[in-house]
Structures are given as structure tokens and as C-alpha cells.
Structure 1
Amino acid sequence: METIQLNENVFIPQIGLGTWKLDDLEVAKKCVLAAIQSGYRHIDTAMGYGNEEAVGQAIKESGIPRDQIFVTTKLSNDFRGREETLQAFEDSLKRLQMDYVDLFLIHWPAPKKYRENYVELNNETYAAMEELYALGKIRALGVSNFMKHHLEELSVKIPVSVNQIEFHPYYADWQTIQYCQQHHIVIEGYSPLGRGQILSDPLILELASLYHKTPAQICLRYAIDNHIIPLPKSQTLERIKENLDIFDFSLKETDIERLRSLSSENGKIGSHPDFADF
């Protein structure tokens, strides 16, 4: 498994298992176990996914030492500010049955509940995360769904290591991606398969045939070749294994450019960070 360095002692695997919508705890546990057994060493969850308990149990039962698995969770939109953040984080640790997480993210920048003063609350929240980092309970700090202007509004002592945003051939926020890469913020891409909507695209099918790979593998490799960590999700063992089999080839630059040409604002699947109704 290839990795990317986040800070002095933290290396993040270059692909992770996404667990969004795996809200059936037994199914979530089976998927995480299958992924770990297939070679995944990076699991992404969130308070809002409702499956931290299953993720923690799967990791515990896998037999793989905790320090060999990179675990990410995220702060729910229900919590902001110092005290709420500290308590919510401790509750996450209990559900995960862990003493620390490798990466902790603010899930959304401007939740509806806090939109009027989100900048002040994000700064207070991030400062609380820095406290947890100093205590060794978080190994790297980050954000999710932050656009360029959200990042510029954030005041930090410990640099943001990761920004997790939507990314796939039909959609990319290139302005934010460029800003992050210029500031040494690693991008993680959620919905890297466009929730399945892009896998029948003629260009992706053409490239799958050319490289003797599946359409999903082309999309995941496209993320990696853009220096982005993909977080695919699957409930099928065969596809979980298939999604990992992307480190034996690279896309030619001309093919990367052809895939980039598919990207447009109309290709966005998820909510807009500034206007999400939650």
C-alpha cells in the first residue's frame, strides 16, 4: 500500500474505504472486515454515518494491530465550539473503542444550524481539535467539504493536513484542489465513482478497455494520478478487492486530460458547502 506523508510521523494510505450510508451496523462491520482482509489499511467514517461502533468492532476483530490501520472520523454538524467538540470527540472514541484517531475532520464548514456565525465557530472548533492533538488523541487535523474561501477563513496554529471533498471525472473543484496542493493540504476524494452514475460514460469505457481495467478502476486511478486519495465504498467483496487493484498501472497524461474535460459544475452530485440544507 502506497502512502502520503501528512506530518512528521503520520503517513496516510493512498486509498481508503468509505463507509457513508453503511448504516446497518452488521453490514458495515462485514464490509470493514472484508476490506481489511483484502488489504485496506485506511477506513473513513463519521459521527453522522451512525456506524462508528461497527467500524471499531471490525478493526478490533480483524486481528490487525491498531497502529497499522489509519482511522478517520468527522465532527457532526450538530456540534461546534470548544466544549461541544471535546465532548463529541470523546463520544466518538467510545463508539470506536479507541484511544485515538489518526485523522479528525470538521465534516461541513457552514452547517445550517450555525451558518450565521460559522467562521467564528469553526475557528473555536479547530482550536479544540488542536488541544486534542496536543494530548495525542488525534494524529492529524483536517476538514471536509471546505472550499478555498472556507480554508482562508480558518485561523490555525497546527496546519490543516487534509481536506475531504467530492471528486470524480464529472466533477472537481479545481480552484480548491489547486489551493490545497499549493498549501500542502492533502485532498481526499469522496464519491470517486460518481455514485455509479459515471461508470457507463463512453470515454471511461474506452479507457477501461484500453488499460484492461474496469471503469471503476479507471476512476480510482484518475484520482490518484491527480494526487488525490479516493475513498470508494462497496458492500460487495469482489468490488472491495477490485477497487484496491489500481497500483499496477498509471493513466497517460493525455488520458488524464481527456477525463478532466468531463468535469463541470453540472456534474456535482453532493450538496454545496455554503447552501446545504443540514
Structure 2
Amino acid sequence: MMTSTGSHRGLLWAVVGGVVLVAGIAVLVAAAISGNAGPTPTSSQSESPGPSTSASPNSTGAGDAYVDPTAAERGWVPEPITTDEDVYIRAALAAASTFDTQRSTREEWLAYLEGWFTPDVRYTSDADREADTRAAKVELREGVVLPEQDWEALAEQDGRVSAAVSGPITTMPVPDDPSGDMTIATADVTLTFTQADGNGGESSFDEPVRVSVQVLCGEGSVPAPGTDQRAGDCKVVRYFTEPLER
């Protein structure tokens, strides 16, 4: 489960408790897609190489190539068109907790996030891959992102949330992945909550969490239809309920 300095727990990336009404308090909760949605790792996991650590914890920059260049105008993280695993992981870790209630509806944001997903290549049939991706998207809606009632309450405060990787990224291979193209990445992420302060200005505060995401950067990835993305470009497979580390 995503962990924070306050040991917040739950099934959401960030649930604003009381939605920062008068006291301005947010209840940070961990989120992510259950690892049970995919094939169960076997003992081969112990035979995999140990995790590696990315040297640079800073920018998520991906040049000028994005699936939707207008995403930032809606308050979202643009999905980079890239085969650079590090660049894509940084964007993916931020995307599921970055939104602006004044620039889009929750449904628009969710539809956008669903476009980041690609099937898990460990499944051998198209039917199984499609079913797994559908399950991942359902879990995104029901167990990962901010619930609708909390979005609406945050919107009353003109609220928004932005997320960014704030520490080294640790990676490890996915068990039983014949392609070798999937990676599980874990990192500290800082969520910044911003809202109207009632005096014509804004107030902000940060919450640290630790999260994991599984990505695919290889020929098995399925590009977003009608975009410049190609098979082989990086995509998200799932988010996890706990940071996966050894």
C-alpha cells in the first residue's frame, strides 16, 4: 500500500477527508490497482535480478511529444510519447493524482487516464488481455482515484491536486514476463493540494506518499488510437495497492 510519513492507509491515491473545508485537512490514502488482477507471480520472482535505482529524481520532461498536447490545459499530466522508461514512469506516477476540478469534470479526467493503459503481455489470448485491461480500468475508477463525492466537495473550494516524483525511482522486473519489457517502478511522490483560502487567494500544502506502477515499454504495447503513439512506446499496465520493493 502506498505509504506516507503519517502512515496513511486505504484504497485511494488521495482522499480529501472533510475535503479541506474549514480546517483545511486532507486524509491521504494509498491507492492502486491490485496485483491480483494479473497472473500470480511464482517462485521465479526470487530468481529475478535485484532492483535498480534511477540516478535522477527530478524532471518528468519528455520533450514536445505527447499523446494529447492539450492535456496540461485541462489540469492533467500529458502522456509522453516515448520509449524512455524513466521519463514515462515519472509521468505515470504523477498522472493518477493530478487534476484540476475547475478545468475538467471527473468523468473527463477518468476517460483521459484510461487512455494510458495497455494489456499485460503475460496473457496469451486477446480475450484475456482485454479482460485484464477492463478490470484495471474499473479498479482505476473504483479504487484508485478520488471518489466522486470528494471531487465535488473539493470543487466547491476551487481545488486542484498536482503530483510529482520527489525521490529516486527503484525498478524491478515483472515476474514471469517473457518479453522482459515490463517494469515495476516505485518512488516517493509529493502531492500538492491547492484550494481557495476564502480571502481571494489560495492556500497549499504537501503530502508525501510512496507508490508503485507497472509499465510496458516494448513492442507489445498498444498505442492510443488516433494518436502519434506507436506500438513499442511506453504505456501503463496497472497501479499497485502497496509499494513493491525487496
TM bin (shorter chain): under 0.3
Answer 1 or 2: which has greater helix percent: 1
- If the length of structure 1 is used for normalisation, what is the TM-score? 0.22
Answer 1 or 2: which has greater strand percent: 2
- Higher relative contact order structure (alpha carbons within 8 Å, sequence separation ≥ 6): 2
- If the length of structure 2 is used for normalisation, what is the TM-score? 0.24
